[in-house]
Amino acid sequence: MKPWKRIWNRENARWLLSLGLMLLVMSSFRSAIADWNDVPTGSMQPTILIGDRIFVNKLAYDLKIPFTRTRLATWGHPQRGDIVVCWSPADGARLVKRVVAVPGDVIQMAGNVVQINGRTLDYTPLSGIDAAPEMGEDAAGMEFFNEDIFGMEHMVAIQPSRRSQKDFGPVKVPDGKYFMMGDNRDNSADSRYFGFVDRSAVSGRTRNVVLSLDYEDHYVPRWSRFLSRLI
């Protein structure tokens, strides 16, 4: 082999090795430390809009071996009201949902009113489409309420004409399991349909939108949502 070819091959190998190590470090960081995920569905509207890209804190509750669900250390667990990224027990799809009930809770729902441990959650009606102007046409025909989960307040959307939800309970949340729901109550596949979510399936918590693009309007940035806080 000619000398210049040997030099090129060595340089090429070093470059490929450096690139591979960089990709491994980046992917490990995203798997175990922090990530940002796009939100392609409206199941968490009006809290999270279609086109939001959210920051996911993978260290919110524990430290896992990258690319696995094996925990090396645990310092917390999901709490009622937390918005988490988890894996669906039905098909393994990545989901963004709100924790409504934790292990040991007894939960039931009738007519979109949730009751936890015998206590009915408080619902304050909000003023129609003005409550969620960023939803645009998606807000038409919806009713909005401020839901209070034991001091954790957030907005939920109800679609009276649809009423796709099913009443359930009372049921007790088993140890190591969580009951998840979407804030868009009549347009969310959640624990009402696929059951409880295992603790090991929770990959992180989100509290912030990084950026947001309006998919219905030529991907125009929603500047007001950049770096906004989620509740």
> Could you give the CA distance from residue 22 to residue 45 in angstroms, rounded to a whole number?
36
State the CB neighbour count (10 A cutoff) for residue 108. 16
- The residue from 58, 64, 97, 177 that is catalytic is 97
CB 145, CB 74: distance < 8 Å: no
Distance between CA atoms of residues 2 and 166, nearest Å: 74
Q: Which of 106, 102, 109, 107 is nearest to 175 (CA)?
A: 102
* Candidate list 5, 27, 31, 43, residue with the active-site label: 43
Q: Which residues pair with 180 in a beta bridge?
A: 99
Q: Which helix (H) or strand (E) holds 29?
A: helix 3-32
Residue 64 among the catalytic residues: no
Q: Rounded to 5 degrees, what are φ and ψ at 51?
A: 105, -10
Place of tokens 């307040």: 153
* Residue 97 is among the residues annotated as catalytic for this protein: yes
CB 150 within 8 A of CB 116: yes
* Enzyme catalytic residues: 43, 97
